[in-house]
Chains A and B, each alone.
Chain A
C-alpha cells in the first residue's frame, strides 16, 4: 500500500505535496542565521553557480536588514526566491558549508535565502531602478529562468526587452517541471511579477516563434537571446503507436503542475530512468496516490545521474528501485499493460543485456524519464547558428554569443539540461555579453 491517497481536493493535494523547504519565520531565520561562521572566501559562494555573497546576506538577515539581504541575493541571481527553494543546495552551497567537515548540520542557506526574498516580495520592496532607455531593443525567446534573468539585467541597463513565450505562463521548467513539493506555482509567478514590476520587460505569451517571426525579430531587434530550453521526452526505443498511459516525464509533470487533481496515473506506475527527473516523476506518482511505484534503471544504483538526496526523497515516499533493468518493449494493445525488461551487466563500461534474463512488470502507466530532445528543427532555421554534435547551441564562454553574432543563448539549450540556477546565471551573464556587443 502506498503512503499517500489520491488527492481529491486542493487541501489534500497540498498535504501530499507539502513543501520540503517551507518558509522560515523570523525567529527561525534569526537563530539559523546566527549559526553562520562568516567564513573567509566562503566555500558556499564558490559552490553557487551565481556566486551569491551568502555569508553577507545571512549576516544581513541576522542583523535584521532583510531588505539588504534580498538585494545581495538578487544582485547575483534574479531567481533568488525560486533558487532558494528548488536548487539542489545539498550538492551546492549547503554541500560546501564547512559545518559538514565536523559532521554538524550545514546552514540552511536555501531556506534563509527564500526567507529574505519572500520578505522583499511580500512587502513589494523596490530594489532596482532601471537606467533610462538607451533606445535599443532586445528580443528574448523563451520566458524560462535564462530568458527572464537576461531580461532583468538588460532592462536594468536601459534596454527595451520583449520576451516571446510559447506557453501561457512564465518561468519555463521552474513552473512546468519542478516538483510541486519544492515550490508552488503561486510562488513562482509571484517572483516573476515582482521582477516585472521593477524591470518593466514585457512577456508575450502563447507566442511560438517560427521562421516568419524570426525574420521579424531580426529586423526589429538589435539582438536576440535564445532561452528555449529543451524539447519533448526522448524515448529510448521507437514507439510503434501512441498509448495514452505511456508518457514522457516532462509531459506528465507539466500536466500535474497545471492540473493538480485531474492527473491520474493509476495504482501501478513504472518510471524509467536514473536522473533527477526520474526521481521527481516517481515521487510525484507516489504522492498522486499510486500504490506501487517502480523506478527502473538500466544501470546500477551507483551509476544513477540523480543526486543521492533526490533518490532518498523518492525512497521516502515508497518508491522501489529496480536496477540493471533495461526496457525492451511495452506490452499491451491500446494501453500499456506491462513492460518487458532484460537484466543488464556492465562489460568494459558498456551496458550489455544478459540473455535469458527477461522479466515483465505489470503497470497502469509507464513514465519515461530518459532525457529531453533538443529543439534542433527550430534552431536550424537560424542562419549560421552552429550546434554541437549533441544538438546543443555553441556559445562563446564569457559572452554567451552564438556563431550568429546577433544571437546569444543560455540555459538548457546550451548546457543540455541543468538546474534553474545555472540558467539564471547564464541569462544574466549573456545580458552583459549582449550589452558589450551592442555598445561596442
Chain B
C-alpha cells in the first residue's frame, strides 16, 4: 500500500487531506469529528482580532441542476473567544497527537502577532498559517488580502512572526492580485516555511433582480464576498503552478481552491502541491467525503506506481509550458463515433456558430449523426467538449508526429508572420463561408 503520510515543512499528518481554515474548523467539536472520520489535518478557523458577524452570510452559484458550484461568503474570522479556541485546540491535540492542527491567525500589530503565536504554540498547534487572503470585511480593516496584496507589508509581518515562531509557518496567499508570484516570493524572503493558496476570490455571485440588491442580502444591502467552490479550481490550479514554477522556489505548497474529489487533489499535487485543503465540499457534503478521498488517492497511486505523495508532486510541471513552446506542427481532428452518437447535433451548432464551420449535417431526419469536414477542422476540441456522450467525439492526431516547430523556434529563425496579410499567418487559406450564406441557414 502507498504511504499517504506527509511531512509538510515539518508538519506531519497521516494523509494530505486537510480541512481549510473556514466554517468546518470553527470548533474543536468539528475538528475532532473530522479527524475521527479520517481527515489528516485541519487549519483552525482564523483566530485573531475580535469581530462581529452579520446574519445572512453565504450565497451560491447554481448551474442547471447543480447546486453550489461556486460559494460566496461574507463571514469574518472566528467570532468565538480566543480562550475557548485555545482550550479546545489543546483537547484536540490530546486525542489526536499525530494529526496536524494548524492555527490560522490574523491580527494587526507586531505585539499582537508575537502574543498570539505564543498562545497557539502553547495550546499545541503543530503549525501556523498566516491569513493574508481574506478579501471581505477584514481587508477593510487593513488585514487579510490587504496584506497579501502588498508584498513588502506581507514580508514584514512574516518577519515579525518568524522572530518568535517555533513551529512551521505557512503563508496563505490571496488570488486577488495580478501576479501571485510576488507575494509568494515575499513570503519566502520573510522566512516563511511554506505557502498555501488560494484564499477566496473577491466576488458578487448574483443580484436579486426584483429588489436590486446582490446576494447575500443583509437587511436589503449587500457587499462583496469571497468566492470558492468547484468553479474556482481552474484559477487555483494555475496559481499553484505559477508558484511551483518560480525558479529556485523551494517552499512546499498547500493547494486550496475548489477541491472536492481525490481527482481534484491529484491535479493539485501534479502541479506542485504536497498537501491539499478543502472547505466548500465539506460545507456541502460533510466530513464523510473523506471516505472517497483517501481510497481514491490510494488507488490512483497504486495504479501509477507512486509509493509516497512526494513522488507525485509536480509531475505535470515539466509538461506545463509557456505558449511559445508548444508544437505548431501537431494536428488533431475531431472524430465522431457513430455508434455512440445520439443525434443532439450540439456539436454541429457549436462548431457552426461558435467555431469553424467544420461539422456538417446530412439533412436526414432518420439519421441525425453529423459529420466532420476534415479540411475545416482546426482541432479546437469544442465539439468534444459540448458532446453529452462520453467518448463519442474524440480528437485524433493527424500529423505524422515527426515535425516539431514552436513559435519560439520560428521567432529565432525569423520565420514568423510580420504584417497583417502575411501568408505565413495561421488562418490563411482556411475555408470560411461567404457572409451572405448565413441568411440561408435554418435557425
Bound CA span A43–B342, Å: 11
| Residue contact B388 to A34, C-beta cutoff 8 Å | no
A101 close to chain B: CB less than 8 A: yes
Bound CA span A98–B342, Å: 5
Question: Min CB distance, A303 to chain B, in Å?
Answer: 24
* Cβ contacts B364-382/A at 8 Å (1 or 0 each): 0100100000000000000
Other-chain contact of B344, A34, A37, A46 (Cβ < 8 Å): A37
| Residue contact A39 to B64, C-beta cutoff 8 Å | no
Residue among B66, B345, B442 with the highest chain A CB neighbour number at 10 A: B345
Residues of chain B lying within 8 A (CB to CB) of residue A35:
65
| Residue contact A43 to B388, C-beta cutoff 8 Å | no
Given that A41-B442, A43-B368 are contacting pairs, would A34 and B345 also be in contact in the complex, using a CB cutoff of 8 Å?
Answer: no
B293 close to chain A: CB less than 8 A: no
Bound CA span A34–B64, Å: 5
Question: Min CB distance, A59 to chain B, in Å?
Answer: 10
| Residue contact A101 to B342, C-beta cutoff 8 Å | yes
A99 close to chain B: CB less than 8 A: yes
Bound CA span A393–B392, Å: 49
Other-chain contact of A31, B65, B340, B345, B365 (Cβ < 8 Å): B65
Given that A37-B388, A41-B442 are contacting pairs, would A62 and B346 also be in contact in the complex, using a CB cutoff of 8 Å?
Answer: no
Given that A31-B65, A62-B64, A102-B389 are contacting pairs, would A38 and B346 also be in contact in the complex, using a CB cutoff of 8 Å?
Answer: yes
| Residue contact A40 to B65, C-beta cutoff 8 Å | no
Question: Min CB distance, B341 to chain A, in Å?
Answer: 8
| Residue contact A98 to B65, C-beta cutoff 8 Å | no
Bound CA span A39–B345, Å: 6
Q: In the complex, which residues 45-103 of chain B have their Cβ closer than 8 Å to any Cβ of chain A?
A: 64-66
B349 close to chain A: CB less than 8 A: yes
Residue among A46, A99, A101 with the highest chain B CB neighbour number at 10 A: A101
Bound CA span A34–B65, Å: 5
Counting contact residues on chain A (CB < 8 A from B), the size range is 10 to 19
B227 close to chain A: CB less than 8 A: no
Bound CA span A35–B66, Å: 10
B262 close to chain A: CB less than 8 A: no
How many A-B residue contacts, CB cutoff 8 Å?
38
Residues of chain A lying within 8 A (CB to CB) of residue B343:
39, 43, 98, 101
| Residue contact A40 to B64, C-beta cutoff 8 Å | no
Given that A34-B64, A35-B65 are contacting pairs, would A40 and B365 also be in contact in the complex, using a CB cutoff of 8 Å?
Answer: no
Q: In the complex, which residues 330-375 of chain B have their Cβ closer than 8 Å to any Cβ of chain A?
A: 340-346, 348-349, 361, 365, 368
| Residue contact B342 to A102, C-beta cutoff 8 Å | yes
* Cβ contacts A97-116/B at 8 Å (1 or 0 each): 01101100000000000000
| Residue contact A40 to B349, C-beta cutoff 8 Å | yes
Bound CA span A40–B360, Å: 12
Residues of chain A lying within 8 A (CB to CB) of residue B340:
102
| Residue contact A39 to B344, C-beta cutoff 8 Å | yes
Bound CA span A98–B340, Å: 11
Which residue of A is nearest B341, CB measured? A101
Residue among A39, A40, A62 with the highest chain B CB neighbour number at 10 A: A40
Bound CA span A40–B349, Å: 6
Q: In the complex, which residues 14-43 of chain A have their Cβ closer than 8 Å to any Cβ of chain B?
A: 30-31, 34-35, 37-41, 43
Residues of chain A lying within 8 A (CB to CB) of residue B66:
34
* Cβ contacts A33-69/B at 8 Å (1 or 0 each): 0110111110100100000000000000010000000
Bound CA span A101–B442, Å: 24
Other-chain contact of A98, B344, B349, B365 (Cβ < 8 Å): B344
Residues of chain B lying within 8 A (CB to CB) of residue A37:
344, 346, 388
Other-chain contact of A99, B64, B342, B346, B368 (Cβ < 8 Å): B342
Residue among A34, A41, A102 with the highest chain B CB neighbour number at 10 A: A41
Residues of chain B lying within 8 A (CB to CB) of residue A39:
343-346
Bound CA span A46–B348, Å: 18
Bound CA span A38–B350, Å: 11
| Residue contact B342 to A40, C-beta cutoff 8 Å | no
Residues of chain A lying within 8 A (CB to CB) of residue B361:
41
Question: Min CB distance, B251 to chain A, in Å?
Answer: 43
Which residue of A is nearest B352, CB measured? A40
Question: Min CB distance, A42 to chain B, in Å?
Answer: 8
* Cβ contacts B417-443/A at 8 Å (1 or 0 each): 000000000000000000000000010
| Residue contact B346 to A46, C-beta cutoff 8 Å | no
Residues of chain B lying within 8 A (CB to CB) of residue A31:
65
Bound CA span A43–B364, Å: 11
Question: Min CB distance, B358 to chain A, in Å?
Answer: 15
Question: Min CB distance, B306 to chain A, in Å?
Answer: 35
Which residue of A is nearest B65, CB measured? A34
* Cβ contacts A312-347/B at 8 Å (1 or 0 each): 000000000000000000000000000000000000
* Cβ contacts A71-105/B at 8 Å (1 or 0 each): 00000000000000000000000000011011000
Residues of chain A lying within 8 A (CB to CB) of residue B346:
37-40
Bound CA span A92–B345, Å: 19
Question: Min CB distance, A60 to chain B, in Å?
Answer: 14
Bound CA span A34–B69, Å: 14
Residues of chain B lying within 8 A (CB to CB) of residue A30:
65
Question: Min CB distance, B328 to chain A, in Å?
Answer: 32
Sorted nearest first, the 6 A-B pairs with minimum C-beta distance are: A34-B65, A40-B345, A34-B64, A101-B342, A40-B349, A98-B342
List 19 A-B residue pairs with CB atoms under 8 Å apart, sorted by A's residue number. A31-B65, A34-B65, A35-B65, A37-B346, A39-B343, A39-B344, A39-B345, A40-B348, A40-B349, A41-B345, A41-B361, A41-B442, A43-B368, A62-B64, A98-B342, A101-B341, A101-B342, A102-B342, A102-B389
B residues near A (Cβ < 8 Å) are: 64-66, 340-346, 348-349, 361, 365, 368, 388-389, 442
A residues near B (Cβ < 8 Å) are: 30-31, 34-35, 37-41, 43, 46, 62, 98-99, 101-102
Given contacts A37-B344, A43-B343, 14 further A-B contacts (CB under 8 A): A30-B65, A31-B65, A34-B65, A35-B65, A39-B346, A40-B345, A41-B442, A98-B342, A98-B344, A98-B368, A99-B342, A101-B341, A102-B340, A102-B389
